[in-house]
Structures are given as structure tokens and as C-alpha cells.
Structure 1
Amino acid sequence: MLGLLLRCRQCQIPARDAFLQIRAFSTTQSSLGKHDKKSTIRIPSKKAAAAKARRKAAVIAAEDAKAEKLTLSDAISVLRAVEVASPNNTYELYIKTEIKSGVAVPKGRVNLPREAKPKSEDKILVFAEGRQAEEAKKAGAHIVGGTELIDGIVNGRVQATTILCTPALIKAITPKLGRVLGPLGLMPSERRGTVTDDIAGYLQRIQGTSEWRADRAGNIRTPIALLHFPTKDVIQNIRHFLASVKKVTGNTRDGADSRRVKSSGPRPVTTISKVMLSSTQGPGIRISDF
């Protein structure tokens, strides 16, 4: 009871009421000072960004140099010893390519000296009209037509593993099919030789070959040989496949590439950063001599 009778000396009101009074906070906005120079976000110059990228690449290269690698023949011997009880198992080759922005995924064809698996049949589609369409049908193309095939390809009703086109129709199909076929590595292009007037000649050249293709991250995987193959046959298959990949990625050039460079400018090079050989139950081994 005595506590209830106590009064605040300054305002002469009961202490309990004084305690319950809520002080109103000021809503006046505080003035914000200008940012000092130390708090300003600094955007690195192009020269500084390039220097940082070089330092990062040097660190990655140093770490890669420390990674354990074997020669191709030694890797084959190790995997053969690991799978000595499974002579029918398969060697698998893995190739990592560094795809740059705006560059199509690597894709090519190869005819291995000694096949490790039965070849899968290609389904070939050709954009051609008139006499060239008739020649394509006689040469063995599965689907032949003009711009009427575009909607079927976009909707997924018409599918093929290889698509060719004559120069007369390439401008008509590119606007609608570029974004659909480009990421899949199926868009016809002059650089790959799939835009040509000699459809029959191209189909004759690819007979007996099998197609390889990287995924969107630039990884290429393929069965390359069987464990019971002699070492020389395994090495020959791997070298043959690597030669095809190097040619497509611009790491090696032939006479046709040189003539193309003179006419259409330099061809972009896609770096091959890693090659590994593994087996069905064995480990993946980095190859040093690729």
C-alpha cells in the first residue's frame, strides 16, 4: 500500500503511473553523411582482372602438375593387372575439353582400327530440294525434305543423329533451329562439313564410321577397347580417337583446315585439359602422353 501512495517528486503523480508512461521516440530522420573514400566499392580494371586470371591459371596448372600421371602403356598395364580375371571388360577413355562461351560442343566421327562394340546405326536427316533431295535418298538418307521439317524437329516428332543441309536452305532453317540443334551439336555448319552441295559424297564418306560427341560441359566418354585386346591395338585405338578429337577442337590442322582459315579467319581452339583411361572395375588413370 505504501508503494502505491508514493509520488514522483518532479510531476507529482503516482509513481506507478509515471512508470507506465511510454516515452514517445523521435521520428526525425537522421542526416546521412557522405560515403567516405574507404567505403566506396572499387571495380578492378581490365588489366587487374587479367592479372588475377593469370595467377589463378598458374595455381591450377601447378596443382595439375602435381597430380599423378602415367604413360599410356603403363596405364594399360595397370588396368590389365587389376582386371586380370575379367578379360572381356572394357577400357573407357575420358577426355575433358574446356569449352568457351559461344563455341559449339565438340563432335566428330571416327573409324577405329579395331572396334570395341557394335556400331550403332545413324539416322540421317537431310534438308534438300529438287535433284539434291533425290540424290540424298539414293545415297541412303533416312529423312529428306525442306522447311516443312522444321516444326517436327522443334516439337520432337522428327529426330535424327546426323543432320545435313544444302547451302540453299541453311539461311531458311537457322532462325528456328539454331537454338534447338546448336546446344545438341546437331546444327549443320560449314566448318563441320555438314552444309554441303555434295550430300551423296558426304554420306559415302561417313559410312562405316561412328559418331562421338561431348556433353555440354565438354566431357567426352567412349568405350575404346576390350581388356583382352593386345596392348598395341588398344594404343592404336586411343591414338586414332585422340587424333579425331584434336582435329575437331582445332589442336591439329590439315590442308583443308589451312585453306578454311585463309577464307573464313582463324578457327577457335578448344583446349584439351585432361585425358583419363579407366576400365569397368578399375580406377581412372591420368594419361601424361596425349
Structure 2
Amino acid sequence: MSFSLGLLCRQCCHSVLSPRPALVRDFSSTPILALRRTRKIPVLSKKALAAKARKRAAKARKHIYENEKMTLESAIDVIRAVEVAKANATYELVIKTAMSRGSIIPKGRIALHRETKARPEDRILVFAEGRQADEARSAGAHIVGGIELADGIVSGKHHATTILCSTALIRAITPKLGRVLGPRGLMPSERRGTVTDDFAGYLRRLSGTTEWKGDKNGVIRMPIGKLHFPIEDVVKNIKQFVAAVKRVTGNQKDAEEKGKSKSVKPVNAITRVMLSSTQAPSIQISDI
């Protein structure tokens, strides 16, 4: 005799004593390859990549002193106000460049609109022989000779602020002096114009100019004027010097260079230009 208790399961609504229905699993007949379709990554154009880079740069965190920039004339006014008790103070211009590994230390010569101090006397050493040696002596070179001068430079006997070399002797002196003069920025090179056969013309251009040079980190410091100078003279000196640095570092090209090459990248990008004095703070310039 069978009987039912009348109890129902709350989950399946069947009697407790009745057997549960078997579970049935449905399988999909969709091909596996159809489920594994990969999304193609679109190839962006140069214009789209540039716009993406601009958006990323706009969202990037700015430098802590980004909002403390001043125009050149405003920075000069602030420095003059701070240095009111010292009329003979010196303006110093600091230019920071992004020195990448293997970059050449920026270096050059300039004749400013108004010199800050008397130019130091240059001591010229020239590697030349024969008629070229006589021309170098008559042009005002202090030390003139052939390959024998290399040993004196290595030993410290000969000291010079500028070293020139003729095209005939450059291969002979490079193995001896490359490691000695290279780190000091004195090794003759064709790019700098110190490997030449026109010694008279080079020494003529050398006279009346001041040498400037960056350090190993790419920081260039230059006394650019005195506090008692008129503001117009200080502005001319700063703009003239910044333009010279831009040409040497590859950030600005002359008209002749623009026609020759179109895709030459800057050697060292200028990241910051700051003006200061003896007691005044260093102020970042925004309009240079």
C-alpha cells in the first residue's frame, strides 16, 4: 500500500518522495573558431598619433615651477628690485639642454652686443708644417709645430685654450690626442671648424669673440650683463646668446641649412632658460 505525505519541495515543486527529473545539458553547435575572433587593432595615421600625443601631454603632470615663469622684461625688473643695493651685480643666464647619451657637449664662440667683462686672452696652438706654419705664426698663433707637439700636450708642457690642425696632420695626431683632448673639448674637428688650412681666416674670426661651453650635463652658464646696463642692452645680449645656443644645439637652423637638410633632429633640445644674479632668485623665462 503506497501513500503520499503531501510534502512538496520548495525548489522544484515536486513531491518529496517522488524521484527528481534527470538533468539535461544542452550543447552549443557554434564552431569554436567563430568564438575566438580577435579584434583588429586599427593603424593610426601620423596626424592621429600626434593628436594622441598632445592629449597625453596635456594630461601629464606639469613641473612644480611651471606656473612661475615670467617674461624676460618682467624677470629683469624683479632682479633689479632685489639687487637694488648692489649696482655692479652680474646677470647670469642658465640654459638647460636635454643631453642624451653620446651627445656632444655644446660649445661655441660669440661676440655679444655689449660685453659683460674683458675678454680673456686666448692661447692658440696650431699643428701645421711648412708654409701653413708660417701663415699661422704671422696670424698670431702662440705655439706652432708638427706632430712633435703632441707629446708636449700629453705631458702638460703645452697649454692652450684653442687647438687648430691642418687637414694633412689630423690623422697623425688623432690616435695620440683623441682621449686626452676629447673630454676637454679641445680636440680639432671639421664640424667645429678647427681642422682647417685657412689659419689666418679662423684667427681673424676668433678675435673679438668670447667662448661659451656647457658642462657634461648639458647646462650652459653665461654672464650676460651688468645691473647698471640699460635694459635694452641686456635683452639684446640674452636674445643673441640664446639664438647662438639654438643654432649650435640644432634647435634653430640658418637659411642655408634649411635648404640642405629637412629631416635633421635637434642635437640637444633646450628644456629651460633661467635668469638670475648674485642675490636674486633664479627665474624661468617664458618668451624665449
TM-score range, shorter chain: 0.7 to 0.9
Q: Which residue of 2 aligns with 1:175?
A: 175
**Aligned residue among 265, 268, 271 for 1:270:** 268
Report if the CA contact (8 A) 1:83-1:282 is conserved: yes
Give the whole-Å Cα distance in 1 for the aligned partners of 2:60 and 2:103: 23
The answer to whether 1:96 aligns with 2:103 is no
Report if the CA contact (8 A) 2:136-2:144 is conserved: yes
Unaligned runs of 5+ residues in structure 2 are: 1-52
Counting aligned pairs with the same residue, the percent is 61
After superposition, the Cα gap between the structure-2 partners of 1:135 and 1:205, relative to the gap in structure 1 and judged at 3 Å, is same
Q: Name the SS for the 1:97 alignment partner.
A: strand
CA-based RMSD of the aligned residues comes to 2.3
Aligned length: 233
Q: Which amino acid aligns with 1:283?
A: P
Q: Name the SS for the 2:272 alignment partner.
A: strand
Q: Which amino acid aligns with 2:174?
A: T
Q: Which amino acid aligns with 1:270?
A: N
Q: Name the SS for the 1:147 alignment partner.
A: coil
Q: Which amino acid aligns with 1:201?
A: G
Report if the CA contact (8 A) 2:251-2:266 is conserved: no
Unaligned runs of 5+ residues in structure 1 are: 1-53
Q: Which residue of 2 aligns with 1:25?
A: none
Q: Which residue of 2 aligns with 1:205?
A: 205
Q: Which residue of 2 aligns with 1:139?
A: 139
Q: Which residue of 2 aligns with 1:232?
A: 232
**Aligned residue among 269, 277, 280 for 2:278:** 280
Q: Which has the higher helix share?
A: 1
After superposition, the Cα gap between the structure-2 partners of 1:122 and 1:257, relative to the gap in structure 1 and judged at 3 Å, is farther
Normalization by structure 1: what TM-score? 0.74
Give the whole-Å Cα distance in 2 for the aligned partners of 1:156 and 1:273: 37
Q: Which has the larger radius of gyration?
A: 2
Q: Which residue of 1 aligns with 2:244?
A: 244
Q: Which amino acid aligns with 1:274?
A: R
1:171 Cα deviation from its structure 2 partner: 1.0
Q: Name the SS for the 2:63 alignment partner.
A: helix
Q: Which amino acid aligns with 1:252?
A: Q
Normalization by structure 2: what TM-score? 0.75
**Aligned residue among 263, 269, 289 for 2:287:** 289
Give the whole-Å Cα distance in 2 for the aligned partners of 1:173 and 1:257: 30
Q: Which residue of 2 aligns with 1:86?
A: 86
After superposition, the Cα gap between the structure-2 partners of 1:79 and 1:185, relative to the gap in structure 1 and judged at 3 Å, is same
